[in-house]
């Protein structure tokens, strides 16, 4: 398993759609973003997209692992790699948005992200299609923050 910085053009859209169902939203944040990949040989099996908000803060917009490789710790290793790279670049804080419940929330909390704020009705107002997980509709977005050491 290898982790490295990649170009936004090399990121497979099918992989990004695993974490974000809106190709329109993905295309908006993919431009001018830093992209990181997890590789099994020459195959990209995981990606993370991060974008600078300001001199000290970067936002993670997408992290996704190919379904065949999930539940093997690759997402955690990719996120650790990304956080280390962002620290090296000089960022002191990383933000992201996620649903108010589900496995993503606990994933980020295991990596020292903490709830900072709630955006009410975000998924209702910003996505054409309803997003469900475990039979529950995502409505609100939690904004999470991780302070880098």
| Residue 148, both tokens | 């880098």
**What are the pLDDT digits (tens) for 67-86?**
999 999 999 999 999 999 99
Q: How many CB atoms are located within 10 Å of the residue 62 CB?
A: 23
pLDDT average, residue stretch 34-41: 97
- φ, ψ dihedrals at 139, nearest 5°: -120, -50
Architecture of the domain spanning 2-147? 3-Layer(aba) Sandwich (3.40)
d(CA 129, CA 24): 12
Distances (CA, A) of 114 to 82, 95, 105: 17, 9, 9
Give the other-Cβ count within 10 Å of 33's Cβ. 19
Note the pLDDT of residue 34: 96
How much is the pTM? 0.89
First to last CA, the chain: 25
Quick one: 52 exposed, middle or buried, by C-beta within 10 A (0-12, 13-18, 19+)?
A: middle
Going from N- to C-terminal start, the domains of the chain cover: 2-147
Q: What is the pLDDT of residues 101-136, one digit of tens each?
A: 778 899 999 999 999 999 798 788 877 788 877 888
CA distances from 112 to 86, 93, 149 (A): 15, 11, 11
Of 97, 92, 1, nearest to 49 by C-alpha is 97
pLDDT of residue 49: 98
- What is the rounded distance in angstroms from the CA atom of residue 94 to the CA atom of residue 50? 9
């Amino acid at each position: 398993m290898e982790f490295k910085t990649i170009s936004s053009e090399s990121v497979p859209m099918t992989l990004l759609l695993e974490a974000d169902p809106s190709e329109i939203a993905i295309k908006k944040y993919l431009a001018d973003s830093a992209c990181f990949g997890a590789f099994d040989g020459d195959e990209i099996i995981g990606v993370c997209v991060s974008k600078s908000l300001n001199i000290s803060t970067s936002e993670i917009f997408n992290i996704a692992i190919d379904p065949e490789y999930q539940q093997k710790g690759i997402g955690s290793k990719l996120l650790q790699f990304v956080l280390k790279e962002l620290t090296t670049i000089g960022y002191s804080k990383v933000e992201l948005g996620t649903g108010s419940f589900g496995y993503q929330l606990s994933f980020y909390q295991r990596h020292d992200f903490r709830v900072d704020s709630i955006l009410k009705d975000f998924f209702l107002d910003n996505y054409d299609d309803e997003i469900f997980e475990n039979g529950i509709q995502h409505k609100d977005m939690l904004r999470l923050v991780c302070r880098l050491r």
